[in-house]
Amino acid sequence: MSADLVIVANRLPVDRVTLPDGSVEWRPSPGGLVSAIEPVMRANDGTWIGWPGGTEQDLEPFEADGLQLLPMSMTQAEIEGHYEGFSNGTLWPLYHDLVAKPEFHREWWDSYVSVNKRFAEKAASIASEGATVWVHDYQLQLVPQMLRELRPDLRIGFYLHIPFPPAELFQQLPWRRQILEGLLGADLVGFQLPGGAANFVRLVRQRVGHKTHRDLVYLPDGRTVRAAAFPISIDAAGFEKLALTEAVVDRSKAIREALGNPRKIFLGIDRLDYTKGIYARLRAFAELIEDGHLDVEDAVFVQVAVPSREQVEQYRILRDDIDRLVGRINGDLGRIGRPAIAYFHTSYPREEMAALYSAADIMVVTPYRDGMNLVAKEYVACRTEDDGALVLSEFAGAADELRQAWLVNPYDLNGMKSALLEAYRSEDKDLTRRMRAMRKTIRHHDVAAWADSFMTELGSVSHSSHAKAVRPAKRS
């Protein structure tokens, strides 16, 4: 097995599902990243290395929907140390502005190092001479350097999907230097926003002592590493098409009806994560009812909380907190057949997501910190009639592009209440003007443009003279 393009990510683009009869099936895991990378994978006969979930050992490479997939197995101890521990108990809260308190444990770090090493060795063993390897996200920040040591002939790109924090926070990390050096193994390090790239370059200068100039880092061995922003996006045309199918249009009407055809539907869809600001937004909505500005006869808040990282303590606490809050709000403010909040702790197929986006008048996205937030972009893509309002946190990467949203500070409850009310009372003309502008932005900058720009840039940065060129995906 040998590949000219290798994608290395914590998860594979498919999930391993064991059926009741014991047989195993692979289901495509939906999400922006898979649709983003799939066309590049196809154009280059790529191979994807990642964990399929679970603790099954000795998994064989396989093909799914024409994609070459190489599953990495994880032991229970590795899941606890690398995934739940260092990735989601240390890095995730640290990189999201300390929304929760990061924990620093030396055993977690050891596990992080050894899992990163296994991923790097696997990539090194299948990449062809001069191949391109694209490593993804915070779980694998040591892979670029480890891979570079094993295979200096490779062209290596790294992309971080979450924010890269300012030096003041990053320097708390006992292993800060190792992480920076790990990333510097790449030729190109990509971030969601220019601020993340600038934080990284500043830290490299201060902490590792390399010379830098603007977005370039000069290493003593003569290599140059570029750090730049590549804001991720969605398959806008795909979502638009889905929203226009008869099934989704019908389902969207059925959702409105099932909710009692209220005047306006508010919607939140998030992984159940403490960075997403679900608790505060539900409080803001409830207070608007208490204050008499909204009435449960006219307005309902649909909140979908997708189960996530359920083994991690802080996520369990959050779930309980939100369960209690929703119970209290509905108990205090709901009427028969009219809950204030319709709450669902589950995940849905893409069609149902599109129907929810189409049914909702006001989409509420209020993370305390978010790399990008694809849900905000998906909502916009599904508003084929140029209507609907988006209330969006200033601290989501998407706020840089979606300037016509009602931008809010999620820490400011009164500010959030005003924005929700303004969006609720807004005239159709204003909604259309804002939505048109946002739709234009999303159509123009879709996920194919994102992948192309990263690949093109990676192709042009300085690298070993052996490296082969990568073909960008054909645009549909």
Give residues in contact with ligand GDG (CB under 6 A): 30-32, 161-162, 232, 269, 271, 306, 347-350, 353, 370-375, 378
| Cβ pair 9, 136 in contact under 8 A | yes
Number of neighbours of residue 28 by Cβ within 10 angstroms: 15
Return d(Cα 268, Cα 393) in angstroms, integer. Answer: 12
CB of residue 51 vs ligand GDG: minimum separation in angstroms? Answer: 16
Q: Which is nearer to ligand GDG, 33 or 131 (CB)?
A: 33
CB of residue 427 vs ligand GDG: minimum separation in angstroms? Answer: 29
| Cβ pair 454, 188 in contact under 8 A | yes
Q: Which is nearer to ligand GDG, 30 or 54 (CB)?
A: 30
Q: Which is nearer to ligand GDG, 205 or 348 (CB)?
A: 348
Q: Which is nearer to ligand GDG, 350 or 468 (CB)?
A: 350
CB of residue 93 vs ligand GDG: minimum separation in angstroms? Answer: 13
Q: Which is nearer to ligand GDG, 361 or 370 (CB)?
A: 370
CB of residue 337 vs ligand GDG: minimum separation in angstroms? Answer: 26
Q: Which is nearer to ligand GDG, 150 or 407 (CB)?
A: 407
CB of residue 272 vs ligand GDG: minimum separation in angstroms? Answer: 10
What b-and-e string marks burial along 62-83, b requiring 16 or more CB atoms within 10 Å of the CB?
eeeeebbbbbbebeeebbbbbb
- Mapped to the 3 state alphabet, what secondary structure does 67-88 carry? EEEEECCCCHHHHHHHHHHHHH
Q: Which is nearer to ligand GDG, 170 or 450 (CB)?
A: 450
CB of residue 248 vs ligand GDG: minimum separation in angstroms? Answer: 13
Question: Could you give phi then psi for residue 185, rounded to 5 degrees?
Answer: -70, -20
Return d(Cα 399, Cα 393) in angstroms, integer. Answer: 7
What's the length of the chain?
476
Q: Which is nearer to ligand GDG, 337 or 349 (CB)?
A: 349
Pairing of strands 24-28, 47-51: unpaired
Return d(Cα 159, Cα 153) in angstroms, integer. Answer: 20
CB of residue 402 vs ligand GDG: minimum separation in angstroms? Answer: 13
- Start-end of H helices in 98-216: 106-126, 143-150, 167-170, 176-183, 194-203
What does each C-alpha distance from 457 to 80, 163, 450, 470 come to in angstroms? 36, 20, 11, 11
The radius of gyration of the chain's CA atoms, rounded to the nearest angstrom, is 23
Q: Is the dihedral of CA 71, 77, 79, 85 positive or negative?
A: negative
Q: How many CA atoms lie within 13 A of 97 on its CB side?
A: 14
CB of residue 364 vs ligand GDG: minimum separation in angstroms? Answer: 13
Instruction: Pull the structure tokens for residue 378.
Output: 């998906």
Q: Which is nearer to ligand GDG, 159 or 285 (CB)?
A: 159
CB of residue 371 vs ligand GDG: minimum separation in angstroms? Answer: 3
CB of residue 378 vs ligand GDG: minimum separation in angstroms? Answer: 5
Q: Which is nearer to ligand GDG, 127 or 356 (CB)?
A: 356
Return d(Cα 190, Cα 301) in angstroms, integer. Answer: 36
